[in-house]
Structure 1
Amino acid sequence: MLNVYHTGDQYQMYHALALLAVGVLLHLGIGGRAMHWACWLFAIGIILFSGSLYVLSISGVKAFGAITPIGGLCFLAVGFA
Structure 2
Amino acid sequence: MSNRVALSLGAFLAAIAVALGAYAAHGLEEKILNLGYEADLARRMQWFETGVRYNLFHAIGILCAVLITELSDASQWFRAAPTLFLIGIALFSGSLYVMALGPESLRWLGAIVPLGGVAMITGWICVSCGAMASKK
Fold equivalence (TM over 0.5): yes
Determine the structure 2 residue equivalent to 1:18.
Answer: 61
1:77 aligns with 2:122: yes
Query: Equivalent residue of 1:19, what SS?
Result: helix
Amino acid at match of 2:93: S
Q: For structure 2, which runs of at least 5 residues remain unmatched after alignment?
A: 1-43, 127-136
CA distance in 1, matches of 2:59, 2:118: 16
Task: Flag the structure with larger Rg.
Answer: 2
Deviation at 1:45, TM superposition (A): 0.6
Equivalences, count: 80
Query: Equivalent residue of 1:50, what SS?
Result: helix
CA-atom RMSD, angstroms? 1.2
CA distance in 1, matches of 2:66, 2:76: 13
Deviations 1:22-56 (A, max 9, x none): 1111233x131111111111111111100010011
Q: For structure 1, which runs of at least 5 residues remain unmatched after alignment?
A: none
Percent identity between the two aligned chains: 34
- Superposed, 1:5-44 pairs within 5 Å as 5-28=48-71, 30=72, 31-44=74-87
Higher normalized contact order (CA 8 Å, seq sep 6+, divided by chain length): 1
TM-score between the two structures when normalised by the length of structure 1 = 0.89
